[in-house]
Amino acid sequence: MNIHITKFFYGDYGEIEGGAPAPVNNREWPLWEVFIRSKQGLDHKHVGSLHAADAAMAIENARDVYTRRMEGVSIWVVESKYIHASNPTEAGALYDPANDKIYRHPTFYQLPDELKYM
Amino acid sequence: MLLISVNLKAKIWVMDANKLAEQFQQKIDADIKIEPQDWMPDEYRKTLIRQISQHAHSEIVGMLPEGNWITRAPSLRRKAILLAKVQDEAGHGLYLYSATETLGITRDEMYYQLHSGKAKYSSIFNYPTLTWADMGAIGWLVDGAAIMNQVPLSRCSYGPYARAMVRICKEESFHQRQGFEILLTLSKGNAAQRKMCQDAINRWWWPSLMMFGPTDNDSPHTAQSMKWKIKRFTNDELRQKFVDVCAEQVKFLGMTLPDKDLKWNEERKHYDFGPINWEEFWNVVKGNGPCNKERLATRVQAWEDGAWVREAALAYEEKKSARKYAFQNTAKSTENAPALQ
């Protein structure tokens, strides 16, 4: 099986056409993905993206855009171009190895009901 | 299956387009969300780009009528609230722009479409805000109508749009409540204040009803959008719901809605209401509303005045990166390199 890694990221401008031809601007601030830890003990979770000139600005903007109501205690930002993603068109093949292994789940095993604490 | 597409980055298996379209519709029917990297029909993508970007533009332009009253809010409390509300609108615009970008259009392209007048935004924001009571009427009616539209959109088939709408709906509730509170306060005030309250309701009522868009017969996109679950209810269904709710709420204010035909219909279990002036609606959409030119000019000026800031921030970042790169190279070339951090 071949797995093709496509550089497809959230907010990919890609080769997909859309909208009107606008003057090309090579000076647009880069796109950043924002991850917020809502409280101590929980994972950072992707909340959206924004544009910023650098990481410090991305964090400040993320604070203003995504945590106006105390939604977070910690912010991660990463430039979108550094995110690699699996390709949904290959999901079947990619997850195939796990697909037929129901014995990885505890409910697969038939044990007497009387058996306690297991 | 056949391999028909080789893009520059990698080979992707592409199935027959009809088959893909069929699978796509099956996913929609099964209420499985569509995510940015999934295959989608071009028309679905185009419809979403149009709808979400215009929604984003509306949030951004929507800051202007209210921004008009920040410096003249009657108390510090009201001023802080209005500031927070306008800041929320900016945030909503940004959530929506970033959702649109997942469909393959750049932020700058969208700005270009707005600034060049190619893209539309909600025509409600082309009406002027003449008195403080307008802040109340906008919160109650305009944000109320927006919520009516947005709640079903948070179940829209496109994941990033639906997620943005969930966040937006949570925040809109405060907008509507603060608006109603402004009107409630005015309605308990002196004769002049009550008059101001009624006047604002009179001016904002019909434009708010128009916010739901043309009637179903004249709304070409509705049927397809419903099939794709971009829209969940038709324009007329949502408008009726809004009228029913407002006709009851206005009683708390001791005010009236400016429609002599407004009457409870026991048979339909809905309020009947008078005809909407669609000529006015289309006129404003076409750019001839009271404030179209002013709103767009303000946006364009803000964008142009900010050009040097955007450029300077980028230049600063480039300078920092260049320095860091030079430093790293120096560090590598010496034995006792200081720890980088």
List C-alpha distances in Å: B333 to A17, B329, B340: 46, 6, 14
Mean pLDDT in residue range B306-334? 87
Average pLDDT value over all residues in chain B: 90
Q: Is the CB of B45 less than 8 angstroms away from the CB of A15?
A: no
Nearest residue in chain B measured CA to CA from A21: B109
Residue A108 Cα, gap to closest chain B Cα (Å): 28
Within a 10 A sphere around the Cβ of B32, how many other Cβ atoms? Answer: 13
All residues of chain A having their beta carbon less than 8 Å from the beta carbon of residue B102 are 10-12
pLDDT band, residue B178 (cuts 50/70/90): very high
Range name among B13-17, B62-66, B196-200, B239-243 with the lowest pLDDT average: B13-17
What pLDDT sits at residue B15?
A: 58
Q: Is the pLDDT of residue B34 over 80?
A: yes
User: What would the pLDDT profile of B94-110 be if each residue is shown by its tens digit?
Assistant: 999 999 999 999 999 99
Degrees (nearest 5) of the Cα angle B65, B215, B231? 80
Residue numbers of chain A with a pLDDT score lower than 50: 1-19
Position B327 scores a pLDDT of 81
Note the pLDDT tens digit of each residue in B140-155: 999 999 999 999 999 9
Q: State how far the Cα of B85 lies from the Cα of B87, in Å rounded to an integer.
A: 5
Q: Which residue in B12, B45, B107 has the most chain A C-beta atoms within 10 A of its own C-beta, making it the best mutation to test that interface?
A: B107
Res. B86 pLDDT band, cuts 50 70 90: very high
Across residues B58-87, what is the average pLDDT?
A: 96
Contacts of A64 in chain B (CB under 8 A): 87, 91
| CB–CB contacts below 8 A, A to B | 110
What is the distance in angstroms between the Cα of B201 and the nearest Cα belonging to chain A? 30
Distance from CA of B190 to the nearest CA of A (A): 36
pLDDT computed for residue B2 by the predictor: 37
- The pLDDT confidence band at residue B334, using thresholds 50, 70 and 90, is low
Integer Rg of chain B from CA: 24
Q: Residue ranges of the domains in chain A? A: 27-84
Contact state of A57 with B102 under an 8 Å Cβ cutoff: no
Q: Are B3 and B14 in contact (CB under 8 A)?
A: yes
Model confidence band, residue B296 (pLDDT cutoffs 50, 70, 90): very high
Tokens read off for B200: 């604002």
User: Measuring CA to CA, which residue among B169, B156, B157, B164 is closest to residue B99?
Assistant: B164
Please give the average per-residue pLDDT across B168-193, as a whole number.
96
Residue in A15, A29, A65 closest to B7 by CB = A15
Range of weakest confidence among B63-77, B93-107, B220-234: B220-234
Among candidates A10, A28, A54 on the partner chain, residue whose Cβ is nearest the Cβ of B107: A28
Q: Is A115 an interface residue toward B (CB < 8 Å)?
A: no
Asked: is A27-84 a CATH 3.10.20.520 domain? The reply is yes
More reliable by pLDDT, B218 or A70: A70
Band of the pLDDT at B219, cuts 50, 70, 90? confident
* Contact between chains at B316 and A54 (C-beta distance less than 8 A): yes
Q: Which two tokens stand for residue B150?
A: 């947005």
A93 contacts on B by Cβ (under 8 Å): none
Closest residue in B to A55 (Cα) is B317
Contact: A65, B10; criterion CB under 8 Å: no
Contact B313 A17 (CB under 8 A): no
- In chain A, what residues touch B112 (CB-CB under 8 Å)? 20, 22-23
Nearest beta carbon to residue A6 from set B10, B46, B94: B10
Longest dimension (CA), chain B: 89
Q: pLDDT band at B9, cuts 50/70/90?
A: very low
For residue B16, what pLDDT is reported?
A: 76
Per-residue tokens: B129: 């805000």
For position B104, what pLDDT does the model report? 92
Q: Is the sign of the CA dihedral B132, B134, B137, B139 positive or negative?
A: negative
Q: Which amino acid is at B289?
A: G
Q: What pLDDT does B223 receive?
A: 82
Q: How many Cβ atoms from other residues are within 10 Å of residue B111's Cβ?
A: 22
pTM of the model: 0.86
Q: Does the CB of A27 have a partner CB in chain B at under 8 Å?
A: yes
Q: What contacts B64, CB < 8 A, 6 or more positions away?
A: B125, B295, B298, B299
Using a CB-CB cut-off of 8 Å, the residues of chain A touching B174 are none
The interface predicted TM-score of the complex, written ipTM, equals: 0.85
Per-residue pLDDT at B333 exceeds 50: yes
Given a contact cutoff of 8 angstroms between Cβ atoms, the answer to whether A49 and B147 are in contact is no
Nearest to A49 among B11, B98, B109 (CB): B98
